[in-house]
Amino acid sequence: MTFSLHGLAVSGGIAIGRAQLISHALLEVAQYQVREKDVGGELQRLDEAIAAVAAELNALRAEARNAGSPGELAAFVDLHAMILADPALTDGVRALIAERRCNAEWALVQQMQEAMAQFDTFEDAYLRERKHDIEQVVERVLRILQGKPKRVARRKATEGDLIVVANDLSPADTLQFKTLKIGGFVTDMGSATSHTAIVARSFDIPAVVGMREARALIQDDDVLILDGARGVLIVDPDARILDEYRLRKTTLELERSKRMRLKTARSVTLDGEKVSLEANIELPPDAERAKEVGAEGIGLFRTEFLFMNRDELPTEDEQFEAYRQVVKSFPGKPVTIRTLDIGADKEARALRGRGGGYASSNPALGLRAIRFCLTEPQLFLTQLRAVLRAAHYGRVRLLIPMLAHVQQIEQTLALIEQAKAQLRATRCKFDEDIELGGMIEIPAAALMLGPFLRRLDFLSIGSNDLIQYTLAVDRADSSVAHLYDPLHPAVLFLIGKTLQAGRQAGVPVALCGEMAGDPKLTRLLLGMGLRQFSMHPAQLLEIKQEILMADSSRLGPLVTRLLKLDEPEKMRELIARL
């Protein structure tokens, strides 16, 4: 039976293919004791569930073979069958049931967690990630143990895109999909500017978050249509719907390839205003994609992603090589390297137990970004030295996240001087005159810009956090996502004020939050005076298209009038008509 689910659109495009369920949320099961005389029955229940899953996997394998499906699916099935047959998992569960007289579900989850913890210690990243496969196998067995009703037979796909369906994923988890060839991405949790969504957007594939129940309602290999622009997922579509979406997909792909022609076009408005379009990246290989779409530089390199999915911190040399790789991809062009913005939803295993927001009950307000770095001077100095060294090979700008206090700038400046002195002492080449900038993403900074403008060479507005902190809406919490509003008059007031103050002081101001990559907001931001946009490479050409069609001399006065309004609905209406 066909049904559709709705969520928050993160990244446009259409994917048609099959569901690949990914588990991450802890499988919650009840724990209870069984009577001595029932232990045998409990063990038998487990064996029957395992046998049923083995049969399910066999059937899946045969189905895949008959349909001549691509290799990935068969590989998944084989791997899951191996895990299921491995005594390392099942013997432990049996022992727990027999010795502790606990129910099979609970024993299974305990054993799974122990196995997953062992996988975490593997050096090989690929092997480490296989823990998610254990989770999926265990989930299949649990479903049988818990007697979840078999769902109505659905159409199953054996070819087409793999569409990942997950409950909730951390940005670090999401990052790992970058190396896999997937066609689309859906999560139950999250909001459109959570870091998970930002990473998903950088894959340049359709993505929808905040689906709420997708993970529970969808089964592996269900046929899915994912419409990333509208935030819709259609499950088990009939032939007519499939045809319609195939047509839409082809049209979108055509439009996209036409936009590639704009790659070398100068980004100027109709009235001749130059607008710089730079790219946001997470990892050095992303710089290639940024080049492919003609980015004029890197406006934001989120270096914290270099620290994720690993057990030890990257060394100075390793960081230096990563930064230099990006700098070399953009000869003569600006590369903005932001210092470690770890904490809140961005977690690095190697920093666990050292603050970084994880232990806090309110991590978005906790020890993240520059607050964390200033409590870890050695770690911060290592990164500063690596950036200063890479800056010798090109035009690097150093960007500091989450500044709110003048002392934070002063302390950062002192540490930069210290890093320079250390490099001088070892006769290491570095850039003495590196430019220093600050993210304006805390309302206090936007309201009190004077000290920032006097001490810094440039500013970059982080609209994602600026909205979060202005409206007191956790950007990663889907339950308040409807209140996360980039067009709230208070947010626009702070952005407008920052742009104006920068202009008056002669300090360049960029915007590198997700607003910069939203084509519906391009005219508004141009009218507010923004001339430096930084966004994910996937969005760049669409924004350029908007800029080429805009007349900033007409937009300026219109937007000035519009910003005087304080009724959001009226404002929204006028923005749509700009």
Whether the CB-CB separation of 497 and 521 falls below 8 Å is answered with no
The least distance separating ligand PEP from the CB of residue 302, rounded to whole angstroms, comes to 5
Tell which one of 228, 394, 513, 537 touches ligand PEP (CB under 6 A). Answer: 513
Q: Which does 222 bind (CB under 5 to 8 A by kind): Mg ion, ligand PEP, none?
A: none
* Integer Cα distance of 411 and 375 in angstroms: 11
Alpha-helical (H) ranges within 260-329 are 286-292, 316-329
Is 105 a residue that touches ligand PEP (CB under 6 A)? no
Q: Which does 171 bind (CB under 5 to 8 A by kind): Mg ion, ligand PEP, none?
A: none
The least distance separating Mg ion from the CB of residue 401, rounded to whole angstroms, comes to 6
State which of positions 198-227 bind ligand PEP (CB under 6 A). 198
The least distance separating Mg ion from the CB of residue 280, rounded to whole angstroms, comes to 11
The least distance separating ligand PEP from the CB of residue 158, rounded to whole angstroms, comes to 38
* Integer Cα distance of 185 and 169 in angstroms: 11
Residues 74-103: b if buried by 16+ CB within 10 A, e if exposed: eebbebbbebbeeeebbebbbebbeeebbb
296 or 341, CB closer to ligand PEP? 341
The least distance separating ligand PEP from the CB of residue 259, rounded to whole angstroms, comes to 24
Binding mask 183-202 for ligand PEP (x = CB under 6 A): ---------------x----
Q: Which residues contact 433 (CB under 8 A, 6 or more apart)?
A: none
Q: Which of 158, 218, 270, 341 is nearest to 523 (CA)?
A: 270
The least distance separating ligand PEP from the CB of residue 401, rounded to whole angstroms, comes to 7
Long-range contacts of 242-245 (CB under 8 A, 24+ apart): 242/16, 245/14, 245/16
Whether the CB-CB separation of 146 and 30 falls below 8 Å is answered with no
Q: Which stretch of DSSP H or E encloses residue 435?
A: strand 435-440
The least distance separating ligand PEP from the CB of residue 153, rounded to whole angstroms, comes to 43
The least distance separating ligand PEP from the CB of residue 194, rounded to whole angstroms, comes to 9
Long-range contacts of 317-324 (CB under 8 A, 24+ apart): 317/386, 319/382, 319/383, 319/386, 319/387, 320/385, 320/386, 320/389, 320/390, 322/283, 322/284, 323/284, 323/386, 323/387, 323/389, 323/390, 323/396, 324/389, 324/390, 324/393
CA distances from 358 to 364, 366, 404, 473, 478 (A): 10, 9, 21, 18, 19
The least distance separating Mg ion from the CB of residue 372, rounded to whole angstroms, comes to 13
103 or 468, CB closer to ligand PEP? 468
Burial of 482 (0-12, 13-18, 19+ CB in 10 A): exposed
User: What DSSP character marks residue 346?
Assistant: B
State which of positions 403-462 bind ligand PEP (CB under 6 A). 441, 462
512 has catalytic annotation: yes
195 has catalytic annotation: yes
Tell which one of 45, 128, 289, 302 touches ligand PEP (CB under 6 A). Answer: 302
Is 465 a residue that touches ligand PEP (CB under 6 A)? yes
178 or 554, CB closer to ligand PEP? 178
Query: Tokens standing for 458?
Result: 């440039």
- Residue 164 exposure: Cα atoms within 13 Å on the Cβ side: 27
89 or 461, CB closer to Mg ion? 461
The least distance separating ligand PEP from the CB of residue 32, rounded to whole angstroms, comes to 44
State which of positions 518-577 bind ligand PEP (CB under 6 A). none
284 or 462, CB closer to Mg ion? 462
165 or 290, CB closer to ligand PEP? 290
Q: Which does 438 bind (CB under 5 to 8 A by kind): Mg ion, ligand PEP, none?
A: none
* Integer Cα distance of 206 and 320 in angstroms: 33
> Looking at 102, 195, 373, 536, which residue is catalytic?
195
Label residue 475 left, alpha or beta by phi (over 0 means left) and psi (-120 to 50 means alpha): alpha
Range in contact with ligand PEP (rule: CB under 6 A) among 86-94, 118-126, 179-187, 463-471: 463-471
462 or 527, CB closer to Mg ion? 462
Size of the site for ligand PEP (CB under 6 A): 11
441 or 514, CB closer to Mg ion? 441
202 or 463, CB closer to ligand PEP? 463
Is 512 a residue that touches ligand PEP (CB under 6 A)? yes
Q: Which of 220, 248, 246 is nearest to 235 (CA)?
A: 220
Tell which one of 309, 412, 464, 532 touches ligand PEP (CB under 6 A). Answer: 464
Residues that bind Mg ion in the complex, under the rule CB under 5 A: 441, 462, 465
Q: Which does 518 bind (CB under 5 to 8 A by kind): Mg ion, ligand PEP, none?
A: none
Q: Which residues contact 96 (CB under 8 A, 6 or more apart)?
A: 102, 107, 110, 111
384 or 399, CB closer to ligand PEP? 399
**Which residue spans within 288-394 are E strands per DSSP?**
298-302, 334-338
Burial of 178 (0-12, 13-18, 19+ CB in 10 A): middle
Q: Which of 321, 285, 283 is nearest to 303 (CA)?
A: 283
Q: Which does 463 bind (CB under 5 to 8 A by kind): ligand PEP, Mg ion, none?
A: ligand PEP
Q: Which does 544 bind (CB under 5 to 8 A by kind): Mg ion, ligand PEP, none?
A: none
Q: Which does 443 bind (CB under 5 to 8 A by kind): Mg ion, ligand PEP, none?
A: none
**Which residue spans within 35-183 are E strands per DSSP?**
161-166
> Looking at 80, 102, 373, 512, which residue is catalytic?
512
Catalytic center residues: 195, 512
Residues in contact with ligand PEP by CB under 6 A are 198, 300, 302, 341, 441, 462-465, 512-513
